[in-house]
């Protein structure tokens, strides 16, 4: 009982570029308004409220942490999509936050 399966777009992330720049070509493959709406919807429906509060307090302490290379990629994505950095971090904790 399935409709035809969809082949997802194949995108490229060049690790030789600065982390903030790597995902920009991939983002341009999508309608920015739709993408932003989907990501905000995910945050609204999937992230526990306490984790949202925690992340707002925690983001100031990320510099120099284990997460730093990934955090720079997230900053680049947030800047391109006009999303707050907290929202970007929450999107990137979507699976993990549901297990905490």
Partner 1 sequence: CTSILVQDANGHIYHGRNLDFVSGTGLRNITVDVQFIKNGQIAYTGTTFIGYVGLWTGQSPYKFTVTGNQRQKDQWQKNATETLFKTHYPPGWFIRKTLEEAKDYKDAVRRLSNQPLITNVYCIVGGINAWEGVVISRNRTDPVDFWLLNPKGEWFLVQINCDHWVKCPRTTEFRKIPASKAFNEAGPENINLYKLYEILSLCPILSDITVYTTVMSAANPDEYMTRVRTPS
Give the angle 38-87-62 at the CA atoms, nearest 5°. Answer: 145
Q: At what angle do helices 68-81 and 32-46 cross, to 10 degrees?
A: 120
Residue 33 sits in the site that holds partner 1 (CB under 8 A):
no
Residue 82 sits in the site that holds partner 1 (CB under 8 A):
no
User: Which residues, numbered 61-80, are part of the site for partner 1 (CB under 8 A)?
Assistant: 61, 65-67, 70, 73-74, 77
Q: Mask 9-28, x = binds partner 1 (CB under 8 A)?
A: xxxxxxxx------x--xx-
Residue 85 sits in the site that holds partner 1 (CB under 8 A):
no
Cα 10–chain centre separation: 18
């Amino acid at each position: 009982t399935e409709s035809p399966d969809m082949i997802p777009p194949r995108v490229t992330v060049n690790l030789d570029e600065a982390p903030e720049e790597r995902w920009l070509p991939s983002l341009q493959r999508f309608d920015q308004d739709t993408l932003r709406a989907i990501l905000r919807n995910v945050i609204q429906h999937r992230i526990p409220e306490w984790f949202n509060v925690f992340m707002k307090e925690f983001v100031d302490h990320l510099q120099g942490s284990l997460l730093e290379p990934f955090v720079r990629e997230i900053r680049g994505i947030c800047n391109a999509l006009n999303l707050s950095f907290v929202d970007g971090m929450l999107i990137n904790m979507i699976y993990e936050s549901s297990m905490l």
